[in-house]
Amino acid sequence: MPGDSEDPNAEVQYHLEVGPGDVADCVLMPGNPERLDKITPIWDDHEEVASHREYRTATGTYEGEPISVTSTGIGSPSSAIAVEELARVGADTFIRVGSCGGLQADLDVGDLVITTGAVRQEGTSDEYVREDYPAVADPEVVQALVAAAERLGYDYHTGITMSADSFYPGQSRPGFEGYEQPESQRIVPGLQEANVENIEMEAAAIMTLANLYDLRAGAVCSVFANRETGEFRTEGETKAAETASLAVKILAEMERVKAEAGADTWHAGLSLD
C-alpha cells in the first residue's frame, strides 16, 4: 500500500503517493494545496491522481500538451521532497508557481516575478551541495515564462529571488512578542541594495536540485506585498498559473523546433512561428 514503505526505489512514492505514469514531464509546483483548484480549471482537462499530507497532484492537458501540478506546502524541505519523488516517476521540468514579497519599488502588487537565479538563504539545499553552488533557473524555462507573460499581456519582471526558511525573522518581520535577532532588520535593505527582486521560500531549493540532477526548473510568482511601499493584496494568483501553464505549451513548441533544426539548445536564431 502507498505510504507503507520508505524504500526510495518503490514505484509508488512515499510522500506524494504517485507512481510511474501519474505525472507529465512538466510539473507546476504551487505551495498551497488549494491552488490546484485555481490552476486546473485553466487546463483542457485534468484528473487528481494523488493527495497525501500537503501534496496534491493532478495531471491533465493544456492546449493539448500534457501537464501536471503538485502542491508542496510551505518551504524548501517539502519542496525538495516533491522534486525528488516527482523525478523518480519521470518528471524532468519543474516550475514553481506562487506568491512573493516584492523588494523593489517598481514591483506593483499583482505583477509577476520570473526568477533567473536565487539567493540560497534556505537551508535545504545546503544538505545537498556546498554553499557557494549557484541556484539558477534553466534558461529555456525562463524564456518560456517570459514569452508566456508577453503573450498574455501581463506585467512581469525578471531577476534574482531570495528563498528564506523563515516567514518572520528570516524576512525581517518580528517574531512572537516582537522577537528579533540582531541581523534581522538588515536583511531586506541588504537584498534591495543587491538588486534582489523578491522573497519567497521554495525556488532556490527547487532550482538547486534540478541543476544537480540535470533537470530543468524555474519560478514565476505573483507579488502579494511590496516591502518597500508597504502595499499588500492577495492578487495575481491566476496570472502566475496561466503564465506557467502557457510556458509548458511553449516549452513543447521549443522542443519541436529544436528537433526540426537539429539544435540542442534554444537560441535567438530559432523561431516559434
Q: Which three-class secondary structure string do you get for the chain?
A: CCCCCCCCCCCCCCCCCCCCCCCCCEEEECCCHHHHHHHHHHCCEEEEEEEECCEEEEEEEECCEEEEEECCCCCHHHHHHHHHHHHHCCCCEEEEEEEEEECCCCCCCCCEEEEEEEEECCCHHHHCCCCCCCEECCHHHHHHHHHHHHHHCCCEEEEEEEECCCCCHHHCCCCHHHCCCCCHHHHHHHHHHCCEEEEECCHHHHHHHHHHCCCEEEEEEEEEEECCCCCECCCCHHHHHHHHHHHHHHHHHHHHHHHHHCCCCCCCCCCCC
The catalytic position among 173, 228, 231, 235 is 173
The catalytic position among 15, 35, 96, 216 is 15
Is 85 an active-site residue?
yes
The catalytic position among 202, 227, 237, 242 is 227
The catalytic position among 17, 54, 65, 85 is 85
Is 173 an active-site residue?
yes
In one-letter notation, the amino acid at residue 224 is: F
In one-letter notation, the amino acid at residue 105 is: A
- Report, as residue numbers or ranges, the catalytic residues: 15, 85, 173, 227
